[in-house]
Amino acid sequence: MKIIKFKTNMNSEGRVAGVAPFLDGSENISSWQVNTEHPDKVLSVAGEQIEPGQIKELVKKAGFEAEVIRVQGIGGVDL
């Protein structure tokens, strides 16, 4: 499993709800969450066959921005 973390501009739970249909609709995404308390509003996405570009495009379709800040493998090691 891969975990990709993004800096976003989703600064409230309402904005997070706006991206939910896009991320929930992807069969490659196992789980996701947004930490709106973190200064970078970090979106963490987990899945087997996810790619940063794919996630950025889904977030963009929802009207938000996402910038990759970290990609981790199953053991927490950066890829």
pLDDT, mean of residues 7-18: 94
Q: What is the total residue count of the chain?
A: 79
Query: Residue 52 corresponds to which amino acid?
Result: P
pLDDT, mean over the chain: 92
Helices 13-24 and 52-61: angle between axes, nearest 10 degrees: 120
- Token output for 4: 């990709």
pLDDT of 38 reads 96
Count of beta carbons in the 10 Å neighbourhood of residue 61? 11
Q: Domains plus CATH for the chain?
A: 2-72 (3.30.70.100)
Query: Residue 68 corresponds to which amino acid?
Result: V
User: Model's pTM, two decimal places?
Assistant: 0.89
